[in-house]
Chains A and B, each alone.
Chain A
Amino acid sequence: MLLSKRHILSILIGIELFLNGINLMFITFAKSYSSYVADILILFILVITACEVAIGLAIFILNQRINKTIDISNLESLKD
């Protein structure tokens, strides 16, 4: 989704899926070694994900309002 889509929401969903895969990998390792450090790491990953989604959606709405498009190819014009 990150490579093939140009819609910002699709890209954000792709990043979310990536991070959920990392969460599953962490929890698998943790259960193997009977540790709960991964639980704490996953909580921090959830915090980072929430921040990323909030900022990403703010940029998405900003891009839609200014450039009148949902395409990521016009994001550079937001620098001006």
Chain B
Amino acid sequence: MLDWLIIFFCFLAISSAVTTSMSSKIIRSTFFFGVTLFVIAFVFISIGSTLLGVVQILLYTGGTLVLFLFAIILTANWDYKNLGETFNKPIRAIVISFIFLGIMSYIVSTSPLMKELAENFTINSSNTSKDISKTLFEDWFVILEVASFLLLGTIVGCLTLLKYRKEIS
């Protein structure tokens, strides 16, 4: 039953991601992007990574979607009527995408690692948040600090960009 649920969620994620890509209106694209993020969070929860699923819904989906919606609202005075005409050489993009898909499919289908993965796939939900947090603050502490500095740099960068806008105006 759980396997079918995961397959259903994966199918739903692929469908919404394709709809996100194919939609010509940005607000519709953003909506289906939110659906994709929610479904991926459900996939995380279904395979036992509850912490990741909750983080994905609370922080990633909420934060990212709100940022996108704010950007759309702030630029709402722009004429969006011609948004559907902003495709830039779609044939080239489709050809490159299919070539990339073919190469990746060949690599995956011939890789012994992927065969081993398919044979030994097990769902283990015993990894608790406590284990992840302990590993994060013991073995990955330096990278955690780098990530925090990266977030700090992002804040400074955004403020610098906004200051630049004020000077221009």
8 Å CB contact of B75 from A23, A40, A64:
A64
Inter-chain contact B93/A4, CB cutoff 8 Å: yes
Q: Measuring CB to CB, which residues of chain A are less than 8 angstroms from any residue of chain B?
A: 1, 3-7, 9-10, 12-14, 16-17, 20, 23-24, 27-29, 31-34, 36-37, 39-40, 42-44, 46-51, 53-55, 57-62, 64-66, 68-71
User: In whole Å, how far is A18's beta carbon from the nearest beta carbon of chain B?
Assistant: 10
Q: Measuring CB to CB, which residues of chain B are less than 8 angstroms from any residue of chain A?
A: 13, 17, 20-21, 26, 29-30, 33, 36-37, 40, 43-44, 47-49, 51-52, 55-56, 59-60, 63-64, 67-68, 70-72, 74-75, 78, 83, 86-90, 92-94, 96-97, 116-117, 120-124, 127, 131-132, 135-136, 140, 143, 147, 150-151, 153-155, 157-158, 161-162, 164-165, 168-169
Chain B residue at minimal CB-CB distance from A2 = B93
